[in-house]
Amino acid sequence: MLSVQTRSSRAAPWRKLAAPPSARPHARSVGIVQRRYAHFDAPLELRSGATLQPFTLAYETYGQLNAARDNAILICHALSGDAHVAGYHTGDPAEKPGWWDEAVGPGKLFDTERYFVICSNVIGGCQGSTGPASIAPDGRPYGLRFPMVTIADMVAAQRHLLDRLGIERLFAVAGGSMGGMQALQWAVDWPERVENVLFLASTPRSTPQQIAFNETGRQAIYADPNWRDGNYYGGPAPTQGLAVARMLAHITYMSDVSMERKFGRRLQGWDTLPYTFARPEFAVESYLEHQGRKFIERFDANSYLYITKAIDYFDIGADYGSLEAAVARTQAAFLVVSFSSDWLYPAEQGLALVHALEAVGRAVEHCHVEAPFGHDSFLVEVERMTEVVGGYLRRRAGARMRV
């Protein structure tokens, strides 16, 4: 058991960050990167009992694997993320780097001068890994014939990728939201392969409210006549249903405070209320519709269905009788980060994990960040995440060198 450094959250459950964020003058972009593909012919046995065979994982890496092969960090993406965490693909506009570019690069939170950072698109996804839009062995797109996947299945697929890359043990596995679920699952399923878990704005157990939001988004997709029970490939996609699902989800990623600050009751393109259904009246409406339109350009509706189901199924304690029993399997040290305005994955859910880890004697730090940006805080609050998470990683790396 690793207990190099334990700062019990029970002693200081709400470690608040009052200090202003520090600048990061030396942070640089990772530059041009390439998406790679790992193809696997071996069957992936899924929790549902089904099998996926063959399967492909799209992935990217940043930085260099050191000679000891012990500086690898796996980043797990959230619902709408993908393998493209940082840098640019050839031809990308300057304002369109990877989804967590601010956190991954030389001198950044995940410092690519120290760490070898890996991220792969989850199975069931639509950005290069095998998912419902992929061609099945019979030559047609899977559609709903794609097997249901779970967080554990996503992790099982990533484990094959790590074997392929020759990485026996991860210095850390990190993720926010659904990424945090994968990070926790990693430590439970492959305890000897995970040294640290960074669990950000996440939960060990999806709640009925979270399931309800996901199900409502799915119902919006089902209701789109273009969905055709998932058999829409080659024809018009259920983009309107997917846009509604995204609008709904986007509200849950923000907070009432951040929406008030960003939009208030400002009108969008009107001096006075036009009293119309024809166009957005309020700025917040225009913003949400823009988010919906952007999303349908890059995301597959069936993948949205599969990935939200995987999130809903997640209850890692249920697989082992209790959360304590599940985390008793882990050997990693944990950093759990929650955000004051995150009402989708409230702090209490992160704390439940903290208390379970403490109950079985694992090393765990808990940091509760006062931030107004809701669930999105884990992405938006880069300076503070750099301080908290980057600081944790440096301390953990330092502790390892002294052992």
Q: Which residues are catalytic?
A: 177, 342, 375
230 close to 143: Cβ distance less than 8 angstroms = yes
Beta-carbon count within 10 A of 16 CB: 11
**Which residues, 6+ apart, have CB-to-CB distance to 78 below 8 Å?**
175, 176, 177, 178, 179
Residue entry with tokens 């339109």? 293
Q: What is 350-385 written as a DSSP string?
A: HHHHHHHHHHTT--EEEEEE--SSGGGHHHH-HHHH
Q: C-beta of 140: minimal distance to a second copy in Å?
A: 18
Which residues lie near a second copy (CB under 8 A)? 48, 50, 144, 147-148, 205-209, 211-213, 215-216, 218-220, 222-225, 230, 240-241, 243-244, 247-248, 251, 254-256, 259-260, 262-265, 273, 275-277, 280-285, 288-289, 292, 305, 309, 312-313, 315, 318, 343, 346
Cβ distance to a second copy smaller for residue 100 or 299: 299
Cβ distance to a second copy smaller for residue 63 or 132: 132
Report CA dihedral (203, 22, 251, 148) to the nearest 10 degrees.
-40
Distances (CA, A) of 283 to 122, 249, 255, 266, 288: 34, 18, 16, 6, 9
Distance CA 284, CA 293 (A): 14
The DSSP output letter for 79 is T
Nearest of 123, 246, 119 to residue 183 by alpha carbon: 119
Cβ distance to a second copy smaller for residue 70 or 285: 285
99 close to 87: Cβ distance less than 8 angstroms = no
